A and B are shown apart, each in its own frame.
Chain A
Amino acid sequence: MNIDQIQDAIIEEFGCFDQWMDKYEYLIDLGKRLPLIDDEYKTEEYLIRGCQSQVWLRAEMNNGALRFTADSDAIITKGIIALLIRVLANQKPEDIAAAQLYFIDAIGLREHLSSTRANGLVNMVNTLKSTGKKFSAAH
């Protein structure tokens, strides 16, 4: 599936949730299944700034597509980065760099995160996209 197909699938899944608790439980569960970054990479270099909780993210090239591993000390944040990774993992770096992540607004993720927390979300998205850009330039 390409990035937009995955986004559409997520929008459809979230459409089934009519309670905030369902969304959060989904995020918490997704966070528990996040492909974890190795502890040795939990350093300044891989830390995403601007989050109230700490987020580490690392990308690796694998057969022309990017693989991501990440972690956070907060479980909801972990769910958010897991959701972003679900959309962007195993995609070509240039597609990641060009992606329009419309699913964030469509599932009410931004609205459910106040501005300070949304800043963390914005930084996560920016880091993911600039990683795509960096790898496509190097490619």
Chain B
Amino acid sequence: MNSPHKPQAVALDVEAVRAEFPILSRRIKDNPLVYLDNGATAQKPQGVIDTIEHYYREFNSNVHRGVHHLSQQATEAYEEAREILRAHLNAEHAHEVLLTGGTTAGINLVASSWGRAHLAAGDEVIVSTMEHHSNIVPWQLICEERGARLRVVPVTTTGELRMDVFAELLSARTKLVAVTHVSNALGTINPVAEIIALAHDAGALVLLDGAQAAPHLRIDVRALDVDFYAFSGHKVFGPTGVGVLYGKASLLDDMPPYQGGGEMIERVTFEKTTYAELPHKFEAGTPNIVGGIGLGAAIAWFARFDAAALSAHEQDILTYATAALSAIDRLRIIGTARDKACVISFLIENTHPFDIGAILDQQGVAVRTGHHCCQPLMDFYDTPGTVRASFALYNNRADVDALVAGVERAAAMLA
């Protein structure tokens, strides 16, 4: 499909990309910053920072209702961002792209709105052991409220979904399957096409948590035939506090509003209120205008890169880092699935992840330590947490070398 928002793919020149990120030239405690906490949030390119500044300097105003010039300009920019997102996801309609507060907000929207309308006693929702708490707790809450049951697909020791158990769990009682596209703690890329096909055969809908997939993979919601897809703006080089929930129009149309307020109504009387059309039905109140516009700029920036080149670069970093870390004495990588995004969780025998993270921090290396909001998964691996290095397209082999040197130093100090 031809779209004004799909420009020619550009090759990935990692050094040139790095130069677009002002924060990457910062020094932390006399060391160059080595930012490997991209799974938590990604850094922002100058273009996104400029877009945000430009919005506040030139056309800050409220969207959709204003008669004046600035409001029209802001509305156009906001809706253009939605169109950029639509094109990037290959959704059929822009009104299938809801702007939310982030992945968590998107999942809660579906759990509350769709769940309240469609879940009944005896129904089942399937999640997996590797889910982020954000893709567990909303389902627990709605299942409890509706008398439905939450079923859990276990993982193998390498960190892959037990697809055999998944197939067994699916039944006529299954109403929805909510799984992550890419595991935040392990990096596993789940076989989502297969999951969707199996779930649809059983008559169930599928929601994918795309928070960790969106910065690494190209997502085509129509090719996937996914029912709901949620991701966060700040992990794809955009601002915080904004995200996307894609939903098929037929499903969203059928769902009751999630929150009431301005923007989402058609006509309000004390007897009865009628609701606005999609997407506004689900966007009550003044939206995160600058967030949406900033996210549009981020996705336009990110979408320029050739998908194959992006994947080749990230797989090179993953392979290089996996080999180098594996060579460290007593180090064990948690999550060794065949299909992985550029994320490495690890432990050093008899060493607490916090200690390694603290010593890496002294060397300018930013990683995440802890349970990564995946306590059931950490329980499965019988560890309170891991050290996680998560990479983005701007990370290079020198970053890996700094990580490895830092971990070796930490291991020696803590031995």
A113, closest chain B residue (CB):
B358
The CA-CA distance from A117 to B354 in the complex, in Å, is: 9
Could you tell me if B384 and A73 are in contact, using CB atoms closer than 8 angstroms? Answer: yes
Instruction: Confirm or deny: B362 has a beta carbon within 8 angstroms of a beta carbon on chain A.
Output: yes
Q: Mark A23-38, 1 if CB is under 8 A from B, else 0.
A: 0110010000000000
Whether B413 and A53, one on each chain, are in contact in the complex, defined by CB atoms closer than 8 angstroms, is no
A21 in contact (CB, < 8 A) = yes
Interface set, chain A 1-41, CB cutoff 8 A to B: 20-21, 24-25, 28
Given known contacts A76-B358, A112-B362, is B413 in contact with A28 (CB within 8 Å)? yes
Is B69 at the interface (CB under 8 A from chain A)? Answer: no
Q: Does A122 contact B (CB under 8 A)?
A: no
In the docked arrangement, what's the CA distance between A24 and B356, Å?
12
A74 at the interface (CB under 8 A from B): yes
A100 on the interface (CB 8 Å rule)?
no
Within 8 A of B (CB), among A68-114: 73-77, 112-114
Size range of the interface on B?
A: 10 to 19
Q: Specify which chain A residues have a CB less than 8 angstroms from the CB of B358 in the assembled complex.
A: 24, 76, 113, 117
Is A123 located at the chain interface by the 8 A CB criterion? no
Bound form: Cα–Cα A20–B31 in Å: 12
Q: Does B308 contact A (CB under 8 A)?
A: no
CA distance A117 to B359 in the complex (A): 13
- The reply to whether A114 and B369 form a contact with Cβ atoms under 8 Å apart is no
Tell me the nearest residue of chain A to B358, going by C-beta. Answer: A76
Task: Provide the bound-state CA to CA distance between A112 and B352, in Å.
Answer: 18
Query: Is B370's beta carbon under 8 Å from chain A?
Result: yes
Residue A52, interface by CB 8 Å = yes
Taking a contact as CB atoms under 8 Å apart, the answer to whether B29 and A24 are in contact is no
A101-139 contact mask (Cβ, 8 Å, vs B): 1 or 0: 000000000001110010000000000000000000000
* Cβ–Cβ < 8 Å partners of B413 in chain A: 21, 24-25, 28
Q: Is the pair B362, A77 in contact by a Cβ cutoff of 8 Å?
A: no
Q: Which of B351, B352, B361 contacts A114 (CB 8 A)?
A: B361
Q: Is the CB of B414 within 8 A of A21?
A: no
* A23 closest partner in B (C-beta): B362
Question: In whole angstroms, how far apart are the Cα atoms of A10 and B370 in the complex?
Answer: 30
Min Cβ gap B176→A in Å is: 34
Inside 8 A of A117's CB, which chain B residues have their CB? 354, 358
- Contact A21 B362, beta carbon cutoff 8 Å: yes
Give chain A nearest CB distance to B47 CB in angstroms: 29
Residue of B at shortest CB range from A19? Answer: B362
A73 to chain B, nearest CB (A): 5
Decide: A20 and B29 in contact? CB cutoff 8 A. yes
Rank and list the top 7 A-B pairs by shortest CB-CB distance, nearest first. Answer: A74-B352, A74-B354, A20-B362, A53-B354, A52-B354, A76-B355, A74-B355
> Other than the known A20-B362, A73-B384, what 6 A-B pairs have Cβ atoms closer than 8 Å?
A28-B413, A75-B414, A76-B354, A76-B355, A76-B358, A113-B358
A: residues with CB less than 8 A from B are 20-21, 24-25, 28, 52-54, 73-77, 112-114, 117
Which residues of B are in contact with A by a Cβ distance under 8 Å?
Answer: 29, 351-352, 354-355, 358-359, 361-362, 369-370, 384-385, 413-414
